[in-house]
Amino acid sequence: MLGVSIRATPDTDVDAEINILRRVAEKDGLEPGLIDRIADETDTVVRNFVERGRELKALRSQLTAERAIRGDGYEIRVSFGTVSKPGLLGRALAAFRR
């Protein structure tokens, strides 16, 4: 069974993510027609998340969302967040601001 997780942000290169998905699906031996269908549906979901996320980010709003694309022999999980998790330095600075 093909199982892939895609974590997207407003900065995600959708085409690159879909190319990775295609390579993984080919490696798992899925049929070309099924790969095309999975890639098209995943592209739509990720691209919509990224576009909406960019719009909301420009408005200083936040969005987190998840979607699962399932079928016989595959499950693609797409998660999206406009807020990246702060690193160690960011957490330390935030602690000092309190």
pLDDT, one tens digit per residue, over 42-95 is 999 999 999 999 998 888 888 899 999 999 999 999 999 986 555 666 666 666
Helix (H) or strand (E) holding 16: helix 14-27
Q: State the residue range of the domain holding 36.
A: 2-97
Q: In the prediction, which pLDDT does 58 show?
A: 86
Q: In the prediction, which pLDDT does 57 show?
A: 84
Query: How far separated are the first and last CA of the chain, in Å rounded?
Result: 47
Confidence of residue 97 (pLDDT cuts 50, 70, 90): low
CA dihedral for 56, 6, 1, 35, sign (positive or negative): positive
Please state the domain count of the chain: 1
Strands 74-81, 2-8: pairing kind = parallel
**pLDDT tens-place string over residues 7-54:** 999 999 999 999 999 999 999 999 999 999 999 999 999 999 999 999
Sheet holding 74-81: strands in order across?
2-8, 74-81, 64-71
